[in-house]
Structure 1
Amino acid sequence: IDALNWGKGCGRYVAWGVFEGQGDYSSYTEQMANRYLPMGVIDDKLNLSDVQENLITEYMGHSWYEGEETFESPYFITKPDFTEYNVEDRYTWVKCPAYDGKPYEAGGLSRILAAYKRNVPFVVEQVDGLLEALGAPGQIGVAQSTLGRTAVRQIETLYIAGLMKDWVAELIEALKSGDSEYFREPATITGAGTGFWEAPRGALYHAESVKDGKIEGYQIIIPTTWNLAPINANGEHGPMEQALIGNPVGDIEKPINALRTVHSFDPCTACAVHITEPATGKSFETVTSPWGVK
């Protein structure tokens, strides 16, 4: 329960939505908002809004890429330029995406918060039950923590598992009737577009330009980039950096709480967590495996 008190992060969330719902929609935004796990942008007061693509940017000033500019979607640029590891300047290969100029978290917690705010029945019921069990009924803010981020993943897993049973039944019926489609001819071979979807790790954004059937440009903002974003132009840390600040460290050689916080964002991110103690220059590497933590 103590893990409810640390690991909050930036307190803002993006989820583009995943698994298309049924129905006819007047816009792509409406379609995203009606996915089984719906789209949502949630600010630091836990207010929900629809995504506005023009508010997505990438800043380069603390990353090993050319320039310090802030690029607006979908016109990002990727030109590697390694200098040195310097936390006062450039210290990562991760770019710094932002929404409306601020860091935002992506992932399971973001999806569940968006679904909760859009009143997805199963999610509302299960989240309310979780909050009750944690002794914080109605206080959705407690999910903004290392433990909360980990706990809501179980709700998402149950929800998707139930949906999959229905989808398999639908697929079987479609195959029996011959009403299935696996490939469509492209409507055009020249143009540009962007797409919003969710990977298990979180919000996934693709921007592509094509001419005469050949790709001219392709840029992606993956969920790990949102979460591992470095310091932005205003000096604000990215979501995971903020979540790690203030984590209790009982044993510098076994910083298990730092590992737990990183894992709460996404287990795939923390294949290895490297710890450095500036006062002594000592460094440690915490490696996870199927057999536990080393």
Structure 2
Amino acid sequence: MTFDSNISTTWGGALADLRDKVSGMANWTLKKDSSGGATELTDGDWFVLTTPTGEDYRIFLGPAGGTYSGVTFEHGPDFDSGTDSWNDRYANDPRSQIGNDGYNDEMSFAPHNGSGMDPTDTGNYWLEYVDGSGFGFYFERSEGDGNDDDVFFGLSQINKTWDYTTADNRESEYVVGVHGSHYDRDYNNENQRMWTNFMSESSGAQASSTQHGFGLTNPDANFGNYPTTDSVVCSRQYENQDGNQAIIGTHDLWVRDASGGESAHQDTIQDSGGSNLYTILKAHSYGTIALGMD
């Protein structure tokens, strides 16, 4: 387990650090890196991480054509590094759900309050990466030009409540998290997403039966603690006739912060023994998350 906190760099540099640090874990690999190991990514660069269970996850900087420096995410069982294409990709991964604006321009996530993000924009990132669990990444842009914002994304292995890998309908063993805004460049369209427990094969991004893990500053004046719950993840791949989806597992690599003004950006949450559990990251409006530190 490693938690890197408040690292100053560029947007492109932070994504390169993410690539190197996550792929450097014992059971993760870097299947393909279009940049050839560049220390700062630029528009059109992408890389593919392979998880310990063999799933592939591609992070792409800039939408098709490299017109805007946001990130998109593709996810599936088999990316072909020889042809740079998918042999097998999940049907409803994040990139397929982000979609296009009204002018058919692809949209992407970026920590920018408008349509002018650049790979050289400066900021700070936080990164939790755990070999047996996954990673969570948060970036806060800090150019001071009135357009600063934040974004969070991550990939966390599910602690399965039953072995759905042998089920008739398939589903990923990892939940995707994305909190932020996505834009296009030409027409400044914007949508906000809070995908805390996105399942890449399940239709509709997040199952309605999923219970999102969250933390909240205890309002009881006798206690200054911050109780949290784990996410209870469901999938529409396993839906009954009443429209309820089966629980497939849990995870706690990140949780939503529901404290409002009673918590602040970079607050640290500890257990009763003083061990660090989460850092609250909420510099701006859309990337808000409590990111695990253990």
TM-score by length of 2: 0.25
Larger radius of gyration: 1
Which one has the bigger helix percentage? 1
TM-score (norm 1): 0.25
